[in-house]
Structure 1
Amino acid sequence: MIDLRGLPELWRRSDVVVRDLPLALLLVVASLVPALHSRGTQLGDLPSRPFDELTGVVLALECLPLVVRRRLPALCLGLVALGFAIDQLRFYHTVAGMALPIALLSAGLHLGRHRRTTVAVATVGYVVLAVALHRHGSTEGVIGFGTFYLALAFAWGVGSWLRMSRAAEADHRRHVAERTRAAERTRIARELHDVVTHHVTAMVVQAEAARYLTAVPKRLDESLTAITDTGRRAVGDLRHLLDLLNPDHGTGARTSADGDTGPNGSVGALYSLASLVEQTRQGGQPVEFTQQGRPPEVAGSAEAAAYRVVQESLTNALKHDHGGRTVVQVRYDVREVTVEVHTDGTGSSAASPGGSGRGLAGLRERVGALGGKFSAGRRPGGGFVVRARIPAGDPS
């Protein structure tokens, strides 16, 4: 049995010439129906004549070019207009005359080049046809011919309006796509900055400290182990980021570099503040960590943003206040997540990669997008403080 359910999709995928063929054939058949003889367009108000051996040629010339009305609109309009002119001058007045406004509408919609020239040539052709019909005794007059011309111009105008509407819609879609790509590039750059800067800064600080521990093998071994662990965490975070960019590549649970396991999005696997703080401590930064409330089992946008705020703040502490007392306070409640990180300014600037200034700006943008508040600056007594209040749940 033939599966008829797939026919609509097959028809939509077929060539436009095939899809336009039924309309052309329908007009030919309608023109040959005896009851419809002399019921078509009668320009010039002249009496009709019976069909003869030339009628078939005229019908073919008027109707069949419609099969290329979308692919070759100028050719279609020229052939249909010629057939229409012969139809009126031979006084057949067939139903096939309806092909002319269809061809004009299609040309207005699909014609991409020489549009003004087409309008000018079509207008001159119409004037020539009107003069010829007048010489054959037409009583239509200027008003009648002018009214018919306006009707044809309306068909062209409808096609032109559809063309402009489609172009505006395509332009809108293109701008939306460009804005989406730009936003996605910004998001990726922000994520890469957060991940790479934090881990690389920690590794540089740890490596710098290891240079002075060669006389203490145990401390040196601990420092090198910390560098290795930091590198593994960096690889794990980058792998997770790549999984977000390419969801088909990695699915299901993944073991994080710090040993936590869980499905994608779990707090334990991806946004473990305790592991983040411990990593920073291994880099030689004394961190006091306080957490109030219980984070949700599945991390949302607020928890992810809070994690990035702490991560960027600890990175800056390692870079600009290395060895100084650092306090991290995080509070979870039903309405919001509150984060405060500050240092006392007693540390020193560590040998680390220079900052780009993108980190804090990215945090301000991230928190602001969620409807929260973010601030960062120096403390009166020394050091710096970072504060963020992030509404729990995405803004509607």
Structure 2
Amino acid sequence: MSHQILLLGSWWRARDVLVRDTMFAVAMVALTLAPGAAHLGVAIGDLPVRQLDGWGVVLVGLLSVPLVLRRRNPAWCLTLVSGGFGAYELVGYIPTFATLGVYPALYAAGAYLERRRAWTAVSVTIGYFLLAVGLSHRGSPQHLGDYLVFFLALAACWVIGDLTRTQRCAEVARQQESVAVAMTQERARIARELLDITAQHVTAMVVQADAAQCLVSEAPNRVTVGLSAISESGRRALTDLRDLLAVMPAPELAVDRAPSPTLSQLAELVASTRAAGQPVELVEEGAPQRSSDGAELTAYWVAQESLANALKHAPGRRTVVGVHHLAEEVCIEVTTAPGPSGTGRRPAGTHGRGLMGCSERVSLYGGHLSARQLLDGTFQIRATIPRRM
């Protein structure tokens, strides 16, 4: 039964506002015509009862049909329903269910009216005062206290609607704030990505260019190799930047996205770094297994950033890229051999922005990254990334 109620509630919320309000007004008319509920209404004047005639039927329609507009145009809905209610009471027609329409009309005005809310509230108050004066003039036995109690009931409908509107506005404000925070965080993430990608490739290009300058005098025949490595680093930088722009939400920044690099391309990365003058070896253990695209790309970036660090902080030192293919995860381990004390080694425990960005990406996929200097002076960067699909 509860499941059916939930389904009915979901179906009701999925309908258009006008459809729901129309069904509400139809229900008011149906209950007004139903024998058991027809005389359940509001009567505040206690005037001699007058049976419905043609004008009475028109006023009954005025009390219920305008509820179709209670959310689309709450001001007109309240004007028509309250006007019909005042006329119905002054004539003294028999109580009917349609007179209860004044309550949802007031609630809707409090909840959905956007402009001239204070003016509307004052107008309704003045209208009720004039109705009370008119009923007294027609001989109503009600006293001031009776009119005050009924006025408080009407005011409660407005106040409840106003509280609903306040909560709704607060929720919208919270959602907008959440969106703004998310956009700020995304901009910061994109900025870090741009910095990481640019820093990695520019560092490699600078080291390769310095090596090429040395080769001009020592081994001119190898200058072409160095220039090719610089060109390859530049192309890879452009590819990575296109990949980043391709996932940005702005349509005007959309570009044709090249396939993201994967672990299968590590051999090319190692060869490119070796061509820049860094002695690099690639060691793989275990059989390669399918991983999610994000895990593959993250593993590749860890290796790329680690090699860029080796080129920058330990040029010419033997570097080993180890890839361990495990059942549930992939492990990337890059070690750089120690050099003479104080020659270009990064102090232990210090991490650049590139490694910080890699650490954040690895954490995003539930992995862990560590960068440390071992007891023998070897600098090791190790990342473990789950293969989850």
* Shared fold (TM-score, shorter chain, > 0.5): yes
Counterpart of 1:5?
Answer: none
What is the correspondence of 1:60-79 to structure 2 with a 5 Å cutoff?
62-63=63-64, 65-79=66-80
**Maintained 8 Å contact 2:209/2:226:** yes
Q: Which residue of 2 aligns with 1:340?
A: 333
**1:321 touches 1:383 (CA, 8 Å); kept in 2?**
no
Cα distance in 2, alignment partners of residues 323 and 161 from structure 1 = 71
- Aligned mates of 1:360, 1:287 — CA distance in 2: 19
The Cα of 1:179 is off from its aligned counterpart by: 4.5
1:229 to 225, 228, 232: 232
Match of 1:368 among 363, 367, 376: 363
Structure 1 Cα separation of the partners of residues 210 and 316 of structure 2: 13
- Give runs of aligned pairs for residues 254-333 of structure 1, distance below 5 A: 267-268=263-264, 272-333=265-326
Distance 1:116 1:381, change over 3 A: farther
Distance in 2 of aligned mates of 1:362 and 1:376: 13
- Contact (CA 8 Å) 2:321, 2:335: kept in 1 or not? yes
Work out whether residues 318 and 337 of structure 2, in 8 Å CA contact, stay in contact via their aligned partners in 1.
Answer: yes
Q: Provide structure 2 residue ranges, at least 5 long, that are not aligned to the other structure.
A: 1-10
1:385 is the counterpart of 2:372: no
Measured after TM superposition, the shift of residue 50 of structure 1 is 3.8
Q: CA 1:296/1:37 → structure 2, altered by over 3 Å: closer, same or farther?
A: closer
TM-score by length of structure 1 reads 0.74
Partner of 2:353: 358
Q: Does 1:44 align with 2:39?
A: no
Q: Given the alignment of the two structures, is residue 129 of structure 1 paired with residue 131 of structure 2, yes or no?
A: yes
What secondary structure, in the 3-state scheme, does the structure 1 residue paired with 2:215 have?
coil
CA distance in 1, matches of 2:207, 2:379: 19
Q: CA RMSD in A?
A: 4.1
Instruction: Give the Cα–Cα distance (whole angstroms) in 1 for the partners of residues 59 and 179 of structure 2.
Output: 48
- 1:138-177 equivalence runs, <5 A: 138-140=140-142, 145=147, 148-177=150-179
The 10-residue stretch of structure 1 (341-350 or 369-378) with the greater mean CA deviation from structure 2: 341-350
Q: Does 1:206 align with 2:208?
A: yes
1:89-104 correspondence runs (5 A): 89-92=90-93, 93-104=95-106
Contact 2:205–2:230 (CA<8 Å) still a contact in 1?
yes
- Structure 2 length-normalised TM: 0.75
Residue 218 (structure 1) aligned with residue 218 (structure 2): no
Residues 267 and 296 in structure 1, CA contact (< 8 A), matched pair in contact too: no
Q: 1:176 to 1:310 in 2, by over 3 A?
A: same
CA-to-aligned-CA distance 1:255-288 (integer Å, 9 cap, x gap)? x6xxxxxxx68643xxx22222222112221223
- Number of residue equivalences: 366
Contact map agreement 1:84 1:97 (CA 8 A) in 2? yes
Q: Conserved in 2, the CA contact under 8 Å of 1:335 and 1:392? A: yes
How has the CA–CA distance of structure 1 residues 337 and 266 changed in structure 2, closer, same or farther, with 3 Å as cutoff? closer
Q: For structure 1, list consecutive stretches of 5 or more residues without a partner in the other structure.
A: 1-7, 257-263
Please state how far the C-alpha of 1:219 moved relative to its aligned partner: 0.9
Aligned to 1:82: 83
Distance 2:89 2:323 in 1: 86
User: Structure 1 vs Structure 2: percent identity of aligned residues?
Assistant: 43
> Which deviations, in whole Å up to 9, do the C-alpha atoms of 1:167-188 show, x marking residues without a partner?
3443443344334434543443
Corresponding letter in the other structure for 1:288: E
Q: Distance in 2 between matches of 1:266 and 1:313?
A: 16
More displaced 10-residue stretch of structure 1: 155-164 or 197-206: 155-164
- Cα distance, 1:147–1:334 mapped onto 2, change above 3 Å: farther
Displacement of 1:208: 2.4
2:334 partner SS: strand
